[in-house]
Chain A
Amino acid sequence: EAQVTQNPRYLITVTGKKLTVTCSQNMNHEYMSWYRQDPGLGLRQIYYSMNVEVTDKGDVPEGYKVSRKEKRNFPLILESPSPNQTSLYFCASTPLLAGGENEQFFGPGTRLTVL
Chain B
Amino acid sequence: GIQVEQSPPDLILQEGANSTLRCNFSDSVNNLQWFHQNPWGQLINLFYIPSGTKQNGRLSATTVATERYSLLYISSSQTTDSGVYFCAVEERAGGFKTIFGAGTRLFVKA
Contact = CB atoms under 8 A, between A and B. Distances in A.
A56 B35 CA distance: 24
Q: Is the interface of B mostly helix, strand, loop or mixed?
A: strand
B31 interface: yes
Chain B residues touching A, range? 20 to 34
Q: Is the interface of A mostly helix, strand, loop or mixed?
A: strand
Interface residues of A, number: 24
Contact of A102 (B35, B43, B48, B97): B48
B41 A88 contact: yes
B31 A102 contact: yes
Contact of B97 (A45, A88, A101, A108): A45
CB-CB nearest 6 A-B residue pairs: A106-B43, A42-B100, A43-B100, A42-B102, A103-B48, A101-B48
Interface of A: 31, 33, 35, 40-45, 48, 50, 56, 58-59, 88, 90, 101-106, 108-109
